[in-house]
Structure 1
Amino acid sequence: MEAKLGSQPSLVWRSIWSARTILKEGLRWRVGDGNEIKIWGSKWLTSPTSYAVQSPVKVLQEDTKVEELIDTQKGEWDEAKTREIFVTEETEIILSMPLSGRGTKDRLVWGPSHKGLFSVRSAYFLQLELRGRNQGESSLEEKRDDRWNRMWDLKVPGVTKLFIWRVANNLLPTKENLYKRKVIEEKMCPLCDAEEETIMHALWECPAANNLWGNNESCVKKWARFELNFMTLWEKFMDRLTKDQLEEMVVLLRKVWLRRNDWVFEKRMACPKNSFSATKAALHEFRVSQLVSNQNKMVHKTDTERVKWEKLERGFVKVNWDAYLDLKRKKTGIGIMIRDEQGEAMVTVCDQKLNVVEAAVAESYALRKAVEFVSRVKNMAAHSLAKKALVMEGEQVWIEEVPGFIVGCLKNDKDVTQEDE
């Protein structure tokens, strides 16, 4: 990451080197044992957009590693030390971050992906975000701008949503865009040959597009055909059209583009009236399929709720676990039930965990606790010995005899073995 470009770099190395900005922005640390991560200067928090500690350096040295904040005996954050060093907001973030119970190593992950794995798609969206920051877009303006949310919330096929997103970002291969990239030498509209083919011209202003928008069935028949950019037009769509009309419009916009492509590549043009009827039929079919899909999910959920106990094979146990998250108190309750092959309760556990703010983390804590207890159930004798060793002084060995506190465990194991035979 710190390599120099050099005086005469190859095209490949120049391309790799120029991507460092994106990599530095997207790479973040996932805390394991904390040996590799600096508290100040490294990206290891879950708080956007810096992902780095903003609290001033105090108590510890500036180059101190995250391991100094971890209670290694408990495998948890040292809450007292954390609250002493960081501001309240960062303290809550740190304490809510789960730690591995096995002391795994720290590792770098790709932050823009939920799985932590790099993908070209996530890097592309990160690049767009960085470009927006450089252009001076404030976070407050982004929150107020619900135009993008309205696009993705439309009840239309995914391919149509992606098309509208590409239109809004000027990513269609119009003649103007191809000309800018030096793919072609002229940028006139292939349909009217009167204007340069921008996105707005192709979809809204071209006479070929107006053959469709001027149709009697069009909800924008009397609208003006000049707009500075698509987002301005989109705002008018949002203000003047109903939800159903808006969904019909985005499908029709894609139809306009497909009609243009049919002419460019196959020299044929679909009838505007047929486009309206095809659009209405396609939307109706999509909505029906979505309704059927949701009904099937409800049926599946009902069937799942009716699942009853099934007898297990001999020697197996069944473990049920769950977690209940109280976001207000940042606290999760954990419930575990372990039963034998007859359905009889072997272990019942109620526990709680503080500083939890995500449902997935709460469920993970419950699962980890359940696995711990399964190991104890299947190995109760050794577990009892290990527990007793904590209160003994020095090593104790029993030859051809056993201590009284594990007699019951051994008897249970022997009974199960005899049943299996």
Structure 2
Amino acid sequence: MVRALFNPNLVQKILKLQVSVYSEDSLYWSHEKNGSFSVKSVYRNLQQNQHLSNGQSSSGRSEAVFWKSLWHLKLPKKMKVFAWRVCQEKLPTYLNLKKKHVLDDATCVLCNQARVRGSDSLLARFVAITWGLWDRRNKRIYENISMHIHVTVNNALSLQQEYAQVELFDVSNQKITKVVRWHPPPNDFLKLNIDGATFPEHSIVGIGVVLRDQYGEVVVACSKVEKEVSFVEFIEAVALLRGLQLCAQWGVPKIMLETDCLVLVNALNENSVCLTDFAFILQDIQRLMEGFQEVKLVHVNRLRNLVAYFLARHTWLIDDICMWWDYCLSFVNQALWLDKLAICKDILFE
């Protein structure tokens, strides 16, 4: 009788029902094993229906695996709930509170900055740090180079912040980004660019220093070999120290310092204590800076620091130190020409 009246798929479900002749009919919640209603089962059912309507994509399965892995982590429940709230953007951050009209100002009390889209910023930092950890692992396995964890994180965040500063324009556009151009110093200043390079196979590092005037002309340039140090920020700090020592000997009154190491710039400009591994180098730099009439320390993109970079790479060909007065060798001529070309473009488009 049942098979004759109903669809075959439905017949199977009907035949599975256990009917009692002794009890009355009652409401039963089919999405829970005990038949009792629960909000959790509703949520689970809605999620399943949504996945069915959207199709069983790999992203949906991956998301389910992710949440399952999260809730099975060997962590206190409050940490897992915190992670879930972060992923769902449910934390009471100042930005979220402003969206809910609880606060009028989303400025952070710690960094004194307002985030336009906090989730993007946090995601970018998370990806940068994750990449840094992966790079650290590869250097240890394939190059036998060990890096301290805080150095890895600082390097990754520096790279992320440097990239965020760069805006790409069409080459034909007259508004070529100023981020990637070398700019001359003010009239009464000289500009010192410094950089460092590592040569693990020789257990040495090299530093490059170039001092130029407002026209982009080289006053003095230097390539110097240093003993191998533990991480990048240390190299950059040593390069800056050597550059300041040379400028102090030359009697430079006002100087503008440029480096592509954002961590170093922040540590010196903000008196940060995050780089305690070479705090003594920072103290020496600060003492030397006090000896000049005026000092400006700024962070630049690597493309604005190419001359110092080539000078640092040149050190693998020398034994100790090489200096050039009023000129440089051919290996930096192209970079110098590009910097002078940028000055000409600045003058033309003023």
TM-score, structure 1 normalization: 0.26
Larger relative contact order, structure 1 or 2 (CA cutoff 8 Å, min sep 6): 2
